[in-house]
Amino acid sequence: MKKFLLLIFCSLVLFQLVWGKSSWNRDLTYDQIALKAQEGSPYHMGLLGIYLRSGEAGCKVNLNAAAEWSKAALKEGHPFGSYNLANLAMLDGDFSEATRLYQDAALLLQRRASEGDPVAMYCMGEIDFQVIPTNVSRALDLFKKSADAGYPQAQATIGALYLKGLPGLLERNPEKGVALLSAGVRAKSLTARFNLGMAYYNGDGVAQNSLKAAQWLQVAEKQNFAEAQYVLGMLFVEGDESLTKNLNLGVTYLHKATNQNHKLAKAYLQKMDIKTEIKSTSTGGNLTMPSASTQLGDVEILREARMYYTGIGKTRDYEKAFSMLLPLAKGGYAEAARLVGLMKLSGKGTKKNPTDAKQWLSVAAQKGDQTAKRMLVQYKSLF
C-alpha cells in the first residue's frame, strides 16, 4: 500500500514538474508558443496544435501541422493533444473516434480547468457542451470563466451564444455578445472573426447585412478557414441588396473550400454542375487558383465572353466564350443564358442540342431578356 501511495505521489510531482509551470496568459504570443513547442513543452505542443486548427492569434489554419503537434502532445500524455485530435476527427466525420478522444482528454482537462488554466477551461467547456452526456450549464460557466481570463476563443464562443441566448440557461444579451466578439477580434481570433461575420449573415444580435458579413468572413478566409470560404462562396453566388452578386468570385471561394474537403461546398458546386477539382500545392493546403481572371466581376467576365463570341475586341473563340458563359448562365444572368441558348442551337463552341437551346432561351426570357423572347418565337420551328 505504501509503495502504491508513493507511486501516486511521484506521479503527481512529475505532473507538476512537466505541466505545472505551463499555463496560458494574455501576453503569450504565437511565436512564443511555437518556440516552446519546439523546445519540447507538452503543454505548448498541444496549444500550438489548437492554434493551428482554429486559427488563433491570426495564424493560418493548417490541419496537417495541427495533427502533428497534437500527436506529439498526446505522446507526452498531455490532454490538449487528445482534445485537439478529437476535433480533427470531428472534421473528418469520424464521430466514434472523436468521442473516444474527448473522453480520454476529459479527466485531465477537468483537473487543469479546476486549476484555472483558461485554455483547459475552454476545452473542457467545449466537451461539456457537445459530447453526450452534455452538461451545458457547466460548459457555459467554463466558457465565461475562460473569457473573463481573456482567452479569445472563449470570448468568441460565449459572445456568439449571448447574441441568441439559450432559454433557461443564458440570457440573450446582444450588446455583451458583440463586446465579447470584438475583444476576440482585437486578439486576432479566427473564431471571433468568423462568428462576427456569421452574426451579420444571420442577423443575430445585429442588423442582417451581407456586405458586413462578407467583409468579416473575408478576413477569416485569409486564414485558410474552409467554413468561411464556403459561406463566402454562397454569399457571392447568390448576392442580395447589400452585396453585389459575383458568381466568379463565389465559385472561386467554393473551390477553395472544396480543396480542403468541405463536403457542403462540394455539393453546392455539383448542384451548379461546376467542376470541383483545383490543384493544391504541397505546403499547408495553399491553392494554385485558376489564373483566368478569377478576381474579375461577373460583368467583366460577361463582357470578355461577348468579345470571344463576336470576335470584336478579341480573336473569336466560341469554345472559350461558351466555357465563360455557362457558369454565368447557371448563376442566373439573362444575357449569358441567351448566348448559351444560341450556341446550343447553332452548335458553335458546344454540341448542338435544340432542346437545351430552347431551355436556355426560356430561362433568359423568364428573366426579362426581350431578345430571347423574340428568338423563341422566331426559331419555334427548330425546337
Helix (H) or strand (E) holding 220: helix 210-221
Nearest residue to 265 (alpha-carbon basis) of 211, 213, 226: 226
55-112 residue pLDDT tens: 999 999 999 999 999 999 999 999 999 999 999 999 988 999 999 999 999 989 999 9
- Residues 303 and 281 occupy one common structural domain: no
Residues 227 and 194: beta-carbon distance below 8 Å: yes
Instruction: Confirm whether 74 is domain-assigned.
Output: no
- Report the 10 Å Cβ neighbour count for 64: 11
At residue 170, what are phi and psi to the nearest 5 degrees? -145, 120
**What does DSSP assign to residue 287?**
B
Helix (H) or strand (E) holding 166: none
Q: How confident is the model at residue 275 (pLDDT cuts 50, 70, 90)?
A: low
**DSSP one-letter string for 281-321:** -SSTT-B----SSTT--HHHHHHHHHHHHHTSSS---HHHH
Rounded to 10 degrees, the C-alpha dihedral 110/114/115/121 comes to: 70
Q: What is the mean pLDDT of the chain?
A: 87
Q: Please give the average per-residue pLDDT across 127-146, as a whole number.
A: 95
For position 296, what pLDDT does the model report?
60
For position 292, what pLDDT does the model report?
37
d(CA 71, CA 20): 20
Q: Please give the average per-residue pLDDT across 142-168, as a whole number.
A: 97
- Residues 239 and 310 occupy one common structural domain: no
- Residues 317 and 378 occupy one common structural domain: yes
Of 262, 287, 312, the residue that ends a domain is 287
Report percent pLDDT > 70 for the chain: 89
pTM of the model: 0.73
For position 165, what pLDDT does the model report?
94
Q: How confident is the model at residue 333 (pLDDT cuts 50, 70, 90)?
A: confident
Instruction: Confirm whether 353 is domain-assigned.
Output: yes
- Residues 267 and 339 occupy one common structural domain: no
Residue 335 confidence (pLDDT) above 70: yes
Q: Please give the average per-residue pLDDT across 183-201, as a whole number.
A: 96
| Cα→Cα distances 366→41, 201, 361, Å | 65, 29, 9
Residue 284 confidence (pLDDT) above 50: no
Instruction: Confirm whether 332 is domain-assigned.
Output: yes
Give me the domain span that covers residue 277: 225-287
Helix (H) or strand (E) holding 363: helix 354-366
For position 18, what pLDDT does the model report?
45
pLDDT top residue among 18 and 91: 91
Q: Please give the average per-residue pLDDT across 211-238, as a whole number.
A: 95
- Residues 336 and 370 occupy one common structural domain: yes
Q: Which residue has the cell 490538449?
A: 80
Instruction: Confirm whether 258 is domain-assigned.
Output: yes
For position 1, what pLDDT does the model report?
52
Q: Please give the average per-residue pLDDT across 367-379, as a whole number.
A: 88
- Find the CATH number of the domain harbouring 377: 1.25.40.10
Instruction: Confirm whether 138 is domain-assigned.
Output: no
For position 328, what pLDDT does the model report?
86
Instruction: Confirm whether 251 is domain-assigned.
Output: yes
- Residues 280 and 329 occupy one common structural domain: no
Instruction: Confirm whether 150 is domain-assigned.
Output: no
Instruction: Confirm whether 334 is domain-assigned.
Output: yes
Nearest residue to 76 (alpha-carbon basis) of 145, 19, 143, 121: 19
Q: How many domains, in total, are found in the chain?
A: 2
